[in-house]
Structure 1
Amino acid sequence: MSSRVETVAPADLSPGARQLSRGITATWWYTVTAVLFIELMLVGAWTGIAVAVDLRGGSILVVGLGGVLWCASTLMLLVDYRHRVDAGPGVAWGRSAVPFVVALGYGVTAGLLVGSWQLVAMPVVQFFVLQSWPRGVRVRVVIAATFVLVALAVVDSVTGLSFGLPWWVPVIYGVMLPGMSVSSLWWWDVLVTLDRARASEAKLAATQERLRVATDVHDLQGHHLQVIALQLELAERLLPTDAGAGMAQLRAARISVDEARQGTRDLATRFRSVPLGDELANARDLLTAAGLDVEAAIDAHADSAPASALGPVIRETTTNVLRHGGGRRARLLLTRTTGAWRYEIANDAAPDAEAERAGSGLDGVRRRIEEAHGSLEVRRDADEFVVIVTVPSESEEAR
């Protein structure tokens, strides 16, 4: 199986969060580009009309360059829309003063030069469409904006200001500008909502896991501490009259302490342990998210492999690949042989990585594998660095 991700996102995010973060950024730029493209297309159309009406350079300069300035001013509205506050009205009128003045000035000036009421209203209408209205208000604003532009297009046609164009052409312009602008903003809102839902789901899962751990620890420690308290209280009563029985209760209390300590250790191990199949899948996803072309072959019964021995090895070797690899490709294999499990990870080797590979990371892997009565093989070819770990199947008892 092979997969590739071309860009590398910040390291403190999970692979899924990195992909969603990139998707949000891409959707934001798509929204900006779509809105600006619509506006520039209409400015180009009105500039062509200005050329047909008046060949003097002044009208063309006002309609064309003034339209570009108006489109640039709407970028301020889009930036405010992205960082709006949903809890409030969401309309930052103070920051919108400059775009409004530019829209009003361009609409009145260009509209009077060309002689079109629709051009007079179009920039101002777009200003109100791009505002961050509360839920339920936006639909009414878009309907009103569409009605105004379509009505003014009809007025231009009736009064002979259609410039030889069919009446339905300016009507299409009047429908397209607010409709396509608000649809782009709607797609952006959908992705932001999904991102917030993902964050809320992650927080809820973390909270539920903390509650479950706290409940288990409370039940375990509460039981043992209650037993120990009773044993010590009984020992305190028996020691003055029956020293032997009192010492027996003290020994029982010490055994209870050992049981509580072992129970806590087992509980921590149970929460820390991850099925080996999940470890390998996480390693593959992590390497893929880092931009490597990953080839993975994982045995169908990987969860039966000795996770206590191989789990830390998988994490350590994956980290080594990310730190010291050449960053183009990696190979991840886990196969079962006669009486043993064989784990192999390989990657393209960076020219200066040989000295670092011999550091404490692989030394720790070697010690862990030797404790599991396994073997470690490190091989460096001309363009590839390979780590092969073999662990006996009998070491499954140590899980």
Structure 2
Amino acid sequence: MSIQPGYAAASAGAVTAASAAAEVRLTRSVSATWWYMAVAIVAFELIIVVVSVDTLVRDDVGALEVAAVAVGGLLWWLATLVPVADYRRRTAAAPLLVWRRHLPALLIGLAYGLAVGLVTDLWVLGALPVIQAAMLLNWPPGVRFRVVLAATALLVALALIDSAVVLEETGGAGWAQLVFLGAALPAVTVSSLWWWDVLVALDRARASEARLAATQERLRVATDVHDLQGHHLQVIALQLELSERLMPHDPEAGQEQLRAARVSVDAARQGTRDLATRFRSVPLPDELANAVDLLRAAGTDAEATVDPDAASAPATALGPVIRETTTNVLRHGDGRRARLSLTRADGVWRYEISNDVGAAVDDGGVAEDRSGAGLDGIARRAAEAGGALDVRRGDETFTVVVTVPADGADADGAG
């Protein structure tokens, strides 16, 4: 759903406040995909370690060698968790190698590769830990593709050597499985990372689209204001100039031009009011839909419950309240979830918004608003409409409830 003009103009500050956080904080669904991808990579690595140990045990290899492979494999697996976790926040400007994050995985991979290669006599397992650590570096997209092709080709060549030399001697199915898993791991890792890069790019494009829509509406509002005021000011300037010229010779005509200038001032003022009213008079269902769109664009899991007759609710009173509370959620909420509702019962319209509490809260759990608006402004608007404000502070949630009388209210409201 697109963002409507009135909401986009009123929510410009909220989008700006949320844009920086949205660059880092991804949506809930994309974050869930990250965990699926990361778990798949580390689980594949752990399976290789477990299969290695199991195969050695089945072939009656010495307990010391088996213990060395098991402990070394566990250390290698743990070392790869750090670069895998770091990849979630990777940016295009990140260096290829972050020493404190990638170096331990490379060194441990090298040591483990030597140990497991000597114990198993498999070239694939000897090269795999180092290659896997290299796959987790911050390769540029095009370079990574060439690197994984070269690494996979190398592992396949080593697998063929292992098949011709070692596997003919052992003949165990476990060894063949190890060779296959080892050759496939880099391709599985890089394909998972590539898929994650695609999802992040799509998620950021979606957020950028929402911000662009708001920016375009701000530009349109600015253009309308410029055209309106520019026209009237130009007319007023000409009328005042003509009045100045006529005054010495024809005072009556000069006074007439002054009166015309005053009429032009009133017309400009009324035109500005009409323009503001046109952008403020967004139906409340659209206000709520736009609020949900804006919250989701900032990475918040947002939902709204809207009464079927919400279009008849007092938009003048509740519209600014919806925009103000949405802005406060973006600025002060924890960015995980928000629930909005607009319902009618017993002759009263009830608007409620609930969100998880962020870090920027006061001692009571309510977000401070240093802009001078916030809850005081919401309470004032509710009181002017004959309603009331109710604030509920919890350990994990913060809820604002605004009620206004439904009698005599229409889509434009009475404010």
Partner SS state of residue 343, structure 1: strand
* Offset at residue 91 of structure 1 (A): 1.8
Matched, 1:369 2:385: yes
1:1-38 deviation per Cα after TM superposition (whole angstroms, max 9, x unaligned):
xxxxxxxxxxx759xx6994333433333332221111
* Offset at residue 92 of structure 1 (A): 1.7
Matches within 5 A, 1:282-321: 296-299=306-309, 302-303=310-311, 305-312=313-320
**How far apart in 2 are the matches of 1:50 and 1:19?**
44
Contact map agreement 1:70 1:102 (CA 8 A) in 2: yes
**Which residue of 2 is the match for residue 92 of structure 1?**
97
**Which residue of 2 is the match for residue 151 of structure 1?**
157
Matched, 1:392 2:398: no
* Offset at residue 237 of structure 1 (A): 0.8
Matched, 1:220 2:236: no
Matches within 5 A, 1:109-188: 109-161=115-167, 163-166=170-173, 168-188=176-196
- Calculate the TM-score normalised by the size of structure 2: 0.71
In structure 2, relative to structure 1, the CA distance for the partners of 1:93 and 1:297 (3 Å cut) is closer
Matched, 1:72 2:78: yes
Partner SS state of residue 406, structure 2: strand
**How far apart in 2 are the matches of 1:346 and 1:203?**
25
In structure 2, relative to structure 1, the CA distance for the partners of 1:213 and 1:50 (3 Å cut) is same
**How far apart in 1 are the matches of 2:61 and 2:128?**
23
**How far apart in 2 are the matches of 1:80 and 1:347?**
35
Letter aligned with residue 97 of structure 2: A
Q: Tell which structure's C-alpha radius of gyration is larger.
A: 1
Letter aligned with residue 111 of structure 1: G
Query: What 5-or-longer segments of structure 2 have no aligned partner?
Result: 1-16, 355-363, 366-374, 391-400
**How far apart in 2 are the matches of 1:395 and 1:204?**
28
Contact map agreement 1:344 1:387 (CA 8 A) in 2: yes
In structure 2, relative to structure 1, the CA distance for the partners of 1:80 and 1:364 (3 Å cut) is closer
Contact map agreement 1:284 1:296 (CA 8 A) in 2: no
* Offset at residue 304 of structure 1 (A): 5.2
**Which residue of 2 is the match for residue 25 of structure 1?**
31
- Calculate the TM-score normalised by the size of structure 1: 0.73
**Which residue of 1 is the match for residue 286 of structure 2?**
278
**How far apart in 2 are the matches of 1:181 and 1:284?**
36
Query: What 5-or-longer segments of structure 1 have no aligned partner?
Result: 1-11, 354-358, 371-375, 380-384
1:209-246 deviation per Cα after TM superposition (whole angstroms, max 9, x unaligned):
22212211111111111101111111101111122221
* Offset at residue 169 of structure 1 (A): 2.2
**Higher RCO (C-alpha under 8 Å, 6+ residues apart):** 2
In structure 2, relative to structure 1, the CA distance for the partners of 1:92 and 1:218 (3 Å cut) is same
In structure 2, relative to structure 1, the CA distance for the partners of 1:363 and 1:157 (3 Å cut) is closer
**Which residue of 2 is the match for residue 229 of structure 1?**
237
Contact map agreement 1:377 1:388 (CA 8 A) in 2: yes
**How far apart in 1 are the matches of 2:316 and 2:251?**
45
**Which residue of 2 is the match for residue 258 of structure 1?**
266
In structure 2, relative to structure 1, the CA distance for the partners of 1:19 and 1:196 (3 Å cut) is closer
**Which residue of 2 is the match for residue 205 of structure 1?**
213
Letter aligned with residue 171 of structure 2: G
Contact map agreement 2:292 2:302 (CA 8 A) in 1: no
**How far apart in 2 are the matches of 1:330 and 1:24?**
23
**Which residue of 2 is the match for residue 382 of structure 1?**
none
Contact map agreement 2:167 2:176 (CA 8 A) in 1: no
**How far apart in 1 are the matches of 2:338 and 2:250?**
75
1:101-151 deviation per Cα after TM superposition (whole angstroms, max 9, x unaligned):
211111012210222211111112212322333233333322322222233
Matched, 1:239 2:281: no
In structure 2, relative to structure 1, the CA distance for the partners of 1:120 and 1:387 (3 Å cut) is same
Contact map agreement 1:317 1:345 (CA 8 A) in 2: no
Percentage of pairs with the same residue:
51
**How far apart in 1 are the matches of 2:231 and 2:48?**
75
**How far apart in 2 are the matches of 1:328 and 1:226?**
48
Alignment RMSD (CA, Å) = 4.3
* Offset at residue 152 of structure 1 (A): 2.0
In structure 2, relative to structure 1, the CA distance for the partners of 1:93 and 1:282 (3 Å cut) is closer
